[in-house]
Structure 1
């Protein structure tokens, strides 16, 4: 019986070691990561970024620390990945979050020259603070390119999670096709297909399923408003459009599984395509 499909703590540790090995030639004292996807990749800690800064610190010796607001302490401490969890009370507040970050950097010896995905926590949702280089007085080297290169090479477990995502995204898309008909609305069809696929997924793997995504949970399929004339607009937004005969449809389907996503997109037509639609479709494939 399968009891877990998640990335193991051992794999997270191996990723940290591999990152340090990649950066060894740069003689960095450590790495600081703020991006939630990077933190999830190396530490298995999932969070939704807000005005409360969160930072993952990896020293050159391999010590791992997480700086979080007080309300995230128990969440962080439940992860076996961290050697230490430091916190501040709240943002805005006193002492500020930057004090906790600065003291943690000093305690781990991450000074002088360090790597980071970006020079400080991003200014989002009202957060305003100094850059990492201003805060630490260190020379900050951007390491996002090395991180992306490492993330691009998938492990066996990662591929299995992506395939699991494909399975349920595909089911949601099949149901989307089944329920799409003239007179129905984009919203009702997408919601019905997504809900049914999600319930089927939970029946199958519910006990071992986690989305670990701050965008969505469960299987989803929809049109994002790319229906009829709007199908020419890339990355549009859903508009509760009513389906009509001859509409060109652009779909999208996925399902987050332990932080991993697949993407299924199709171009379809309601009813029989016209000769011009067939010509343009073949032109697209060419």
Structure 2
């Protein structure tokens, strides 16, 4: 049975945070909604009203929320205490209330680790920097590293996400036909996959993911020549024979997700399409071969970029090999020549080197991969070979 992250794990994360952020810190103050969810399970939509999490050296978590979120936080947040302020901007600014709370907790005498120097500007928010109120040090990168090392409960949820992503993608491929629009095919595949997932999981199941709700499969406008845009947006294109298609599928499972993408074709691909598809597969295979613990993230990207150069494909390169993921759709570290991190067991990545040929289309598979002590384990399982990805015209 698939269950959410247990409260004990979130408690342990808060206690362990100082091993990553620094033992010299008096406490932590975090504003990022994803970090707050990671440490407390509290899910909210960031608005102009600041929400913050205070973590003490003992691992005690105090959630600081506007009055309108108080009952929501009491009911759902896995914390030791919830404190609230009246409203933003209010007669006294919320961050001044926050500073008073830190004073009461005895934390303002020391150095505070923060993810942002004040609440980030969202929906018209403005306010003082934390560095105007007390001594701070940015610890975002350290906490990102903590998030990158997935626990067994996290991996269980990512594996389940990958299973449902595959189901949604199979429906997407099954329903795609010339003459239909991307919106109607996406809607049908996503609706049916989500209904199946919810039925199997039971009435208490929740996606609990800001990025993905349900089991989703889509094209996001990556159809025909438009698929040469890696981050295209939906254009409600109508499928026709000869189209390059680049897909995306995932599922939100108790706060965690996966990534599955495939390059498909409507009708028999041309020799040119086969040429770039073959190179795309070889690029992904090359990246997978080098995903081993102890190897630098930068080295994986260097090896793949060398292939682009050797084969004369650099004009069609647009982005690095991949990125970590789990709770967020993009997390660090990144498989990029500028990344200093080293691959470690427990890290989860997308592997997605692509080719983007103007006037023709895009060629990209993406798979979710776990770094183990032995190498790389594929968590997404969907056909990669060309013949399995041709849609009858």
Instruction: State whether TM-score is above 0.5.
Output: yes
Secondary structure of the corresponding residue to residue 239 of structure 1? coil
Task: Measure the CA separation in 1 of the matches of 2:261 and 2:244.
Answer: 13
Task: Measure the CA separation in 2 of the matches of 1:141 and 1:83.
Answer: 24
2:40 is equivalent to residue 43 of structure 1 = yes
141, 164, 173: which one aligns with 1:145: 141
8 A Cα contact 2:25 2:111, kept in partner: yes
Q: Which range is displaced more, 175-184 or 94-103?
A: 94-103
Q: CA shift at 1:234, angstroms?
A: 0.8
Q: CA shift at 1:208, angstroms?
A: 3.6
More helix by share: 1
Task: Measure the CA separation in 1 of the matches of 2:90 and 2:268.
Answer: 62
Q: Which range is displaced more, 243-252 or 107-116?
A: 107-116
Misfit runs of 4+, over 6 Å: none
Q: CA shift at 1:24, angstroms?
A: 4.1
Secondary structure of the corresponding residue to residue 56 of structure 1? strand
Task: Measure the CA separation in 2 of the matches of 1:129 and 1:206.
Answer: 44
Task: Give 1:18's aligned residue.
Answer: 16
Aligned residues: 281
Q: Which range is displaced more, 56-65 or 10-19?
A: 56-65
Task: Give 2:302's aligned residue.
Answer: none
> Unpaired segments of 5 or more residues in structure 2?
283-393
8 A Cα contact 2:15 2:58, kept in partner: no
Task: Measure the CA separation in 2 of the matches of 1:208 and 1:110.
Answer: 39
Task: Give 1:122's aligned residue.
Answer: 120
Task: Measure the CA separation in 2 of the matches of 1:211 and 1:107.
Answer: 37
> Unpaired segments of 5 or more residues in structure 1?
none
What is the root-mean-square deviation in Å for CA atoms of aligned residues? Answer: 1.4
Under a length normalisation based on structure 2, what TM-score does the superposition of the two structures give?
A: 0.69
222, 226, 249: which one aligns with 1:226: 222
8 A Cα contact 1:88 1:96, kept in partner: no
Q: Which range is displaced more, 98-107 or 172-181?
A: 98-107
Task: Measure the CA separation in 1 of the matches of 2:87 and 2:234.
Answer: 36
Task: Give 2:98's aligned residue.
Answer: 101
8 A Cα contact 1:168 1:254, kept in partner: yes
Under a length normalisation based on structure 1, what TM-score does the superposition of the two structures give?
A: 0.94
Aligned counterparts, 1:238-277, within 5 A: 238-277=234-273
